[in-house]
Amino acid sequence: MTPSLLMAVLASGFIYGITPGPGVLAVFGIGAARGRRAGAGFLCGHLLGDVIWCSTALIAIVGAREIGSTAFDVLGVLSGLYLFWLGWRAVRAKRSNGEQPQGAARQPFWHGILFGLTNPKAYPVAVATFTALLSSRAELLNWSMLPMLIALSFLGGLLAYAILIGVVGARQVRTLYQRHELAITRLCGVMFIGFAINALVHALPGLMPSKT
């Protein structure tokens, strides 16, 4: 595995874990209601779902690559379009009504497990994120790398969660997030659109008819 591939997988796990979504919004709500310890418990439980969905996404990506470059390119186009749609929705997001997303969970750890395993967006977002960042290195992927890919994505997600645990529950962070929630969401939307363009740039040429 090349250093660039190692960093791409780490970055994928990190971005998947830290990008604002249902899980991140939930942990900020729990942290606001019950403090950093409850938020950390939720994230520790949520990590199980992340590992399962990221592993499943990596299996799908490596499988598509092993089947053939066309299958991987099709997956890349679908992932790019999905990421673009998510990004466009985020860019056009409107201010929320202020409801706390299940912030009063009595058992944050078990709530985190259930939340992580049942989040309907987890798998497609994982596939889209990993495909977007790994597409330029697709030729390096194979089944023998899968355990290392999963471990690296786990480490990336763990780093993201360590940062979230460090800031969740802090009054200044809570205030800043609540005040600029819309801007943060839109900024993440722009980032998703960037990932989408990257995925499409690498996938579309492989689906074009050869001029030979």
65: burial class by Cβ within 10 Å (0-12, 13-18, 19+)? buried
- Whether 149 is in a domain gets the answer yes
CA distance 134 to 132: 6
Give exposure, 161-187, as e/b (b: 16+ Cβ within 10 Å). Answer: beebbebbbeeebbeebeeebeeebbe
Give exposure, 116-133, as e/b (b: 16+ Cβ within 10 Å). Answer: beebeebbbbbbbbbbbb
Q: Are 46 and 116 in contact (CB under 8 A)?
A: yes
With a cut of 60, say whether residue 104 has pLDDT above it.
no
Q: Are 23 and 119 in contact (CB under 8 A)?
A: yes
Query: What's the longest Cα–Cα distance across the chain?
Result: 64
The answer, as to whether pTM is greater than 0.75, is no
- pLDDT, tens digit (0-9, with 9 covering 90-100), for 8-36: 899 989 988 887 776 777 787 777 667 78
CA distance 25 to 176: 14
Q: Which helix (H) or strand (E) holds 191?
A: helix 181-207
How many domains are there within the chain?
1
- pLDDT, tens digit (0-9, with 9 covering 90-100), for 86-98: 788 878 877 655 4
Higher model confidence: residue 158 or residue 80? 158
**pLDDT given for residue 169 in this prediction:** 67
DSSP letters, 44-101, are HHHHHHHHHHHHHHHHHHHHHHHH-HHHHHHHHHHHHHHHHHHHHHHHT--------S
- Whether 211 is in a domain gets the answer no
- Whether 141 is in a domain gets the answer yes
**pLDDT given for residue 103 in this prediction:** 39
CA distance 209 to 203: 13
Six token digits for residue 53 = 């969905």
- Whether 183 is in a domain gets the answer yes
With a cut of 50, say whether residue 101 has pLDDT above it.
no
- Whether 84 is in a domain gets the answer yes
- Whether 210 is in a domain gets the answer no
Give the chain's length: 212
Q: Are 13 and 155 in contact (CB under 8 A)?
A: yes
- Whether 142 is in a domain gets the answer yes
- What radius of gyration do the chain's Cα atoms show? 18
Higher model confidence: residue 7 or residue 65? 7
> Domain limits at 121?
3-205
- pLDDT, tens digit (0-9, with 9 covering 90-100), for 159-185: 999 988 888 767 777 677 667 777 877
